[in-house]
Structure 1
Amino acid sequence: MHSNLLAVLFALASALTIAWGTVVRHRIAEEAPADGSLKGSPFWNAISRPLWWAGTGTALLGYGLQVVALAFGTLLVVQPILVLSLMFTLPLAARYDGRRISGHELFWAGVLTVGVTVLVMLGRPLPGDPQPPLERWLPALAVGVVVLVSLERFAQRQIRREKALLLGIVTGALFGYVAVLSKAFVDIFVHGGVWAIITNWETYGLIIGATLGTIVQQYSFNAGALKNSLPAMTISEPVVAFSLGYLVLGEKFQVSTVSGWLFMAVAFLAMLAATVVLSRRGVS
């Protein structure tokens, strides 16, 4: 059943739950020392705390809602809506910090909302092939492995701010792949059931990508302030997901005029700009 309305509603619910999980896990990561030992590592310190599991459980619930949204709509509809998780992160983080949201933040929140609305309403994305042949996936997977492993290795040699930024890019890109594989996973389950899930490579690619994304995300949170990692994380995910949605799944926007594409480009750039501003100002 294809319904962009239901996809939007479930994506909004996903964005809200992901936002809370993100704020909680970052607060824990900021308090976690890293002394070089296994038990002193950011990930070990995080998972040893019950609150981290509560935040992670909420994030997993958000991911489940994202999968449901993808069952009803296209990747090009769901991904822009998920960017709005930042708008939910802002008031939650402000409450944790005991401060009020400024007028400047409200302005950019409005810009973000308008940008997302234009992409969804004007673009009216058409579904593609959620289960493309492996041959179409191989170049995207090969490029992703080379680029992301190189970025991660380079990030480990940087100081805190640059390290958090680069690991944020890697995290967002991994979850961009996860988003596309989730779309394939949903289609496989709907048409083939449990046995099809077990026997298709997309399931295992999804598990590996989500696991790596969660681990790298925790390290990016620990590397520096959330304002350093969250913008890169929030932007790189839709950029990678959009690119894979077009190139691998074959999803398309229903825009045929130059002026229409111009509006879409402006809306997309406005969304990215608002994401950077809000994530840097809203969380520290």
Structure 2
Amino acid sequence: MTAALSVVLALLAALGNAAASVLQRRAAAEEKPPPSARRAAWLVGLLHRPVWLWGVAALVLSGVCQAGALATGPLAVVQPVMTTELLFTLVVGSAVFHHRPDRRTWWAFFAMAAGLAAFMRLAEPSKGSATVPDGRWVPVAAGVVVVVAVLMAVGSRLRSAPRATVFGTATAIGFSCTAALMKDAIGILADGGVKDFLTAWQTYSVAVVGLGSFLLLQMTLRAGTLVASQPALTLGDALLSVILGIVLFDEHIVLGVRILPEAVALAVLVLGSVQLARSPVISGENEEQMW
């Protein structure tokens, strides 16, 4: 029951993220600033648009649903399911921007959905501990910092698509670590109450790492096209979350003879996400003409 609830909440969180992205993009498309306008004035204009505020509300609701999903299910389930944000973005964006996806985009939609469903069915992630045992965060955090630093250093020397891919990998690491910290903080709240939650370093690390990951995402999107960064964002977040679930929370997935079909399912998931990222509804291209 709790596993099913976790999946439902993760799907709702993904839907919230997709709705927030589409609604805020629509507000930005409507609020077209003249060339001489200041950025601050444009941002103020967005704050007065109800559609933009609805987007913010959807983002807040998404955060609540993700927290609930992490509280009731394994990290190795929640984050992979969150990749359905791309699928929801296609559906919501098509309705909002009155853009009908072509047949290739729909094939990509079903390929990504099938790849995700097959991987989750084959891996069968199991729930581990609610919190991270003492001492495990230190080596994991040190390793993450080193890897992200190396990726950013390497990416800054590359151009366009390769840079977006490398930055996207660093961003995915940040998002998966944010989810792991959130799950740990929620577990502390459940076990120790509000006092322990407010005094735990994990609670405040969620905000710091989450903000850093958001800034990394902006750098990723500026570095190159979504087509170049989306595979790293999609697969990186899902795979690292599975690894963090095993290392930090003692979660378990089935490997053995299933590892080959699991790899095929992941390949289908990535190929579907790449093709979906090419859709103008996902990438945000030509939205002035769509709306």
TM-score range relative to shorter protein: 0.7 to 0.9
One-letter amino acid of the counterpart of residue 19, structure 1: A
Distance 1:273 1:79 in 2: 18
Residue equivalent to 1:112:
112
Aligned-residue offset at 1:263: 2.5
Q: By how many angstroms is 1:226 displaced?
A: 3.5
Q: Distance in 1 between matches of 2:60 and 2:217?
A: 14
The letter of the residue matching 1:90 is: L
Q: 1:49 to 1:234 in 2, by over 3 A?
A: farther
CA distance in 2, matches of 1:15, 1:170: 20
Letter paired with 2:81:
I
Structure 1 counterpart SS, 2:101: coil
User: For residues 259-278 of structure 1, what are the structure 2 equivalents within 5 Å?
Assistant: 260-278=258-276
Aligned-CA RMSD value? 3.1
CA distance in 2, matches of 1:46, 1:227: 27
Deviation of 1:243 after TM superposition, in Å, equals: 1.6
Residue 173 (structure 1) aligns with: 173
Tell me the percent identity. Answer: 29
Change over 3 Å in CA distance of 1:87–1:116 after alignment to 2: same
Partner of 2:192: 192
CA deviation map 1:73-118 (0-9, x unaligned): 1112212211111101123344565532121121122122122222
How far, CA to CA, are the matches of 1:250 and 1:178 in structure 2? 18
Aligned residues: 274
Structure 2: gaps of 5 or more residues: 284-291
1:113 & 1:158 partners in 2: Cα distance?
A: 32
Aligned to 1:49: 46
Distance (Å, rounded) in 1 between the aligned partners of 2:167 and 2:18: 19
Q: Secondary structure at the match of 1:126?
A: coil
Structure 2 vs 1, CA of residues 106 and 244 (structure 1 numbering), >3 Å: closer, same or farther? same
Q: In the alignment, is residue 22 of structure 1 matched against residue 29 of structure 2?
A: no
TM-score normalised by L of structure 2: 0.80
CA contact (8 A) 2:178 2:209 kept: yes
- Post-superposition Cα deviations, 1:125-173, rounded to whole Å, max 9, x if no partner, equal 2112332234222222112112213333444455454444433332222
- The 1:135/1:4 distance shift into structure 2, 3 A limit, reads same
Is the CA contact 2:101–2:279 (under 8 Å) kept in the aligned structure 1? no
Deviation at 1:11, TM superposition (A): 0.9
In structure 2, do the counterparts of structure 1 residues 281 and 231 end up closer, same or farther at CA, with 3 Å as the change threshold? Answer: farther
Larger Rg: 2
Distance (whole Å) between structure 1 residues aligned to residue 150 and residue 168 of structure 2 = 14
Residues 208-247 of structure 1 deviation map (CA, whole Å, 9 limit, x = unaligned): 1111122222343344444344443222211221221122
Answer yes or no: is the 8 Å Cα contact 1:167–1:216 preserved in 2: yes
- Stretches of structure 1 lacking an aligned partner (at least 5 in a row): 34-38
Q: Does 1:6 align with 2:5?
A: yes
Match of 1:129 in 2: 129
Question: Higher mean Cα deviation, 215-224 or 140-149?
Answer: 215-224
**Would the aligned equivalents of 1:180 and 1:241 in 2 still touch at CA under 8 Å?**
yes
Aligned partner of 1:91: which letter? Answer: V
Matched residue of 1:49: which SS?
helix
Whole-angstrom CA distance in 2 between matches of 1:166 and 1:47:
33
What does 1:241-252 correspond to in 2, within 5 Å?
A: 241-252=241-252
